[in-house]
A and B are shown apart, each in its own frame.
Chain A
């Protein structure tokens, strides 16, 4: 098994190498950011050495990325035709009122024509990362690529070596931003498999507050690979709500890594909703570096057909008095497969750690499958760590109760599924984004469509 996977990786390497060299020569971002060149070269070397992970790798035990390893992906050409063809009408469903800003990316590239930049907040920056790297090197250099580990993670290494653009968000010290920032990533699809490597850097200054939504959407069909890395840095006392929706088409491979660096007394809430994609891996990796940090990792995944949705999280408690709570609910139908792999690492000295992990799953068919794996590594002696996982079917008693009041079976089932999904919604702050997600979730649920109007 391992042999075939490794050779599959090596088979595609010339193509990755060619692309890498081409980027160095032709991509304006790669040419101008000389300060990043060494980092990119190291990352590419790591990627070549690591190869794609296999199921023999403990962190990838339940997810084979062979389909990604075996496919030759192309970067979209520059200038990119598709960015011109996406119209305002195409993205009308993704426009929200009362946003602080909305950045739109097409196949990984920023499209200013479709984006709305922030106004009225002194010091708030929301822009294309490529642009910011040119103009604000001194702000970005100390952080970009510092919170990810390209020497160990192949997909991160690939992103670091290849990325051309993404979002840069900087919330200045003391600013409590009320309105959300919406980052929309459109995948237009194409006839040949294509790769996009968006890279985002989100910086929340001391005592600042903000809400960010990353939304991954398909506008067309075709096999493609979205390999995104987001780095979040929260300075002391910052409060950040991060939302991520993966709802690309079921031909898309999607690997995303959210690396969060939390300072003293920070709160970062990460909410993930996965409904799309063929093979999805969602890595959430907070590092609680300062005392008194709080981290919520909340998620919902809804699979159908042959979807494979892998939720991986690695929480590193490096300081004392930090809390991390993970809650993931999964709903799996058809032959879909879900994975919950929650790793909690409590470092020496991280006393008074409070860590909790809950994974609840509903299987709607006999052929759906769920693997749930908690992993606790504790090197401190005064900590509280709990975990629990359940896998079950729809509760027949509850179903009968609803039907006995007049709801037909499909409506009753839909309502119960929505209730189960709502556990995830209820952990989000009430407001615009939660309502938006509720509708997206409702549409993704089997048999729940009839109640949408009631929301």
Chain B
């Protein structure tokens, strides 16, 4: 059984259909990249998987290890191991990163019947991950993303991922707005997370991030459907030729159907 099975997914927001019959299979241990032009539905796919309620699924299904992901609330999906790194992480004044992360980690542990982690056990664990993401220890006491630079916010997302150790990580345009240094740090964090029982989906518009996080598969999403899949070399082709080629191909297929 594959870890993730997406079949014929149709989703809309405010009566606008975005995903129009998307199929995708992801196995544990694999890194998939989903590329596509703006507005093709990449972020919608991420949001649907993270169970954001304003995206309405009208058709199709998503199975996570055989469980119906679409029946889950956001917190249940998170506890089942889905983690989405936000394209635009939210700033929350008044809650420290350490407090928030320990609360989140303990919510997940509780869900799995594990003992909650106290501050004594949590801090060394947290500090170890901070080192990995090359963030300053002052992160701990700072409010969640408040006043963070773009790069700091993205690093904080990957830091959260490293702590929560999800089964399925979805990176929604994590590269947007990152300079090369920040991209390298973020990629290091993600690569350190690669493991035989974890799957990672990297959503991006540009190929550059994939130089650092080398995917096993690349899919091209156009107009709500995956129109082309291939290996990592597909990303390079796209970089050279742009999405114009695949878009024409896609409409040609549509006409042929």
Contacts and interface: CB of A to CB of B under 8 A. Distances in A.
Say whether A associates with B: yes
A327 B73 CA distance: 36
A423 B143 CA distance: 11
A interface: dominant SS: helix
B99 interface: yes
Contacts of B75: 403-404, 406-409, 412
Contacts of A423: 93-94
A398 interface: yes
Interface string B79-114: 100011010011011110001111111011001000
Given A403-B75, A404-B78, A404-B84, 19 more contacts: A397-B90, A400-B74, A404-B51, A405-B104, A405-B160, A406-B75, A406-B79, A406-B104, A407-B75, A407-B104, A409-B73, A411-B103, A412-B75, A418-B94, A419-B94, A419-B143, A423-B94, A454-B102, A454-B103
A422 interface: yes
A406 B90 contact: no
Contacts of B143: 419
A406 B78 contact: yes
Nearest to A423: B94
Contacts of B77: 404
Given A398-B90, A404-B78, A405-B164, A454 B99 contact: yes
Given A397-B90, A398-B90, A406 B107 contact: yes
Nearest to A424: B94
Interface string A400-440: 11111111110110011011111100100000000000000
A398 B103 contact: no
B94 A407 contact: no
Contacts of B53: 400
22 contacts: A397-B90, A401-B86, A401-B89, A402-B92, A403-B73, A403-B74, A404-B74, A404-B78, A404-B84, A405-B83, A406-B75, A406-B111, A409-B75, A411-B107, A416-B95, A418-B95, A419-B92, A419-B93, A419-B143, A420-B94, A422-B94, A423-B93
A451 interface: yes
Question: In which size bucket is the chain B interface?
Answer: 20 to 34
B62 to A, nearest CB: 16
A419 B95 contact: yes
A404 B50 contact: yes
A398 B92 contact: yes
Interface of A: 395, 397-398, 400-409, 411-412, 415-416, 418-423, 426, 451, 454
Interface of B: 50-53, 73-75, 77-79, 83-84, 86, 89-90, 92-95, 99-105, 107-108, 111, 119, 143, 160, 164
Contacts of A408: 73, 75, 107
Shortest 6 CB-CB contacts between residues of A and residues of B: A419-B94, A422-B94, A405-B104, A406-B78, A403-B74, A406-B107
B92 A406 contact: no
A397 B164 CA distance: 20
B52, B75, B78, B79 — most chain A CB neighbours (10 Å): B75
Contacts of B107: 405-408, 411
A141 to B, nearest CB: 46
A426 B143 CA distance: 12
Contacts of A407: 75, 103-104, 107
Nearest to B107: A406
